[in-house]
Amino acid sequence: MIRVAITGMGVVSAIGNDVETFRRALLDGRNGLLPPEGMDEVPKGISVVGQVRGFDAEGRLGKDRLPLLDPFAQFGLAAADEAIAMAGLDFRADPEVGHRSACIIGTGGAGIATLQDGFTRLFKEGKTRVNPFTVPRAMGNAACSHITMAHGITGPSFAVTSACASANHAIGLGFQMVRSGMADRAVVGGTEALVNFGNLKAWEALRVVSRDTCRPFSKDRTGMVVGEGAGVFVMERWEDAQARGATILAEMIGFGMSADAGDITFPSVEGAARSVQACLDDAGLRPGDVDHINAHGTATTANDATEAKVIRAVFGDHADRLPVSSTKSAHGHALGAAGGLELVACIVALQEGFIPATLNVTEIDPECPLDVVVNEGRRVPIVTALSNSFAFGGLNAVLAVRKA
């Protein structure tokens, strides 16, 4: 079996628009959940969001590209540029390098900002035309396609959409491609730009959005906070990374998936537990080998209690001493990009020996009997970490990474 190295990562988020800023925010316990900015109107039920702020699209991507890029593609391309630069790869150096490289990018909402702008023109402003680039801007594969075009990636490339599990599915599929020999390297991750009036109204209507802030596993939690951003990675064959002297950030070692085949919004303990166990089996791990879990941890009543039951079911007594955190309490729930942001957080945890805090917690819910790292991060040696993503529609995806 081919070993898979992660040699680059890039991030755009509510707590930082590059890896170093994101890292520092996690170490400092900075909360990026703030009132929305730059909107003409904010839904009444929305008090804070995990909004990307201070993102210089023109400076990062160039003025000429922007007309074709919805914000979700801007975030994804910027994160990919950072990851590829960190990895030190040039996909155009040899045509065979590009041909043997894959690109898989997950998204849930894709170009929803472009669609909202078009609908506003048609139905509110009474215009008769929309932006001529509406289709290529809004399509779900736009971010993936722009990454391939910008960097000369000509191998297997596509988009994945599975709601909150989109990024983990994309990352896991890229991992499988490299490990199986289908590709020598892969650019993978997720991207989302969902802080806009229409999308916030849709989430508000579901009655799962917090009245105040995101407090996962807390007894007084009131719901999720909508976030956005991108997390993108470069994965490659371990021996290739070593041969070219690349810095290996972490090793990707496992991926598990399952479908609840139950309720469209309510999570299943059995279904999610199967994905966690499948990931452990794929990685060759026993429950006691896992040092940390970055939980899905959305701070909804149903999700947190269900996830606690999942962790207890899979890890048994080890759950008593298995540190769990939800970084959504800092950057919000970035939906299709969530797994990308959270894998960056896992790699930072491995590198720093530091488990990021679950912020805003007042009292752990008795229905969530876990070792939740509350309000302040914890310095502990970490070798292996899991990242959980359990999506609407009952689609589950779990990743395992090991310290390099």
366: helix, strand or coil: coil
Q: Measure the CA–CA gap between 282 and 91, rounded to whole angstroms.
A: 30
Q: Measure the CA–CA gap between 120 and 213, rounded to whole angstroms.
A: 29
Question: What is the β-pairing status of strands 157-160 and 101-106?
Answer: parallel
Alpha helices by DSSP H, listed for 223-296, are: 238-243, 269-283
46: helix, strand or coil: coil
Phi-psi label, residue 62: left if phi above 0, alpha if psi -120 to 50, beta otherwise:
left
Q: What is the CA radius of gyration of the chain?
A: 20
Q: Measure the CA–CA gap between 136 and 127, rounded to whole angstroms.
A: 20
Q: Measure the CA–CA gap between 77 and 212, rounded to whole angstroms.
A: 32
Of 324, 341, 328, 14, whose CA–CA distance to 166 is shortest?
341
Q: Measure the CA–CA gap between 218 and 364, rounded to whole angstroms.
A: 5
Active site residues: 164, 296, 333
3: helix, strand or coil: coil
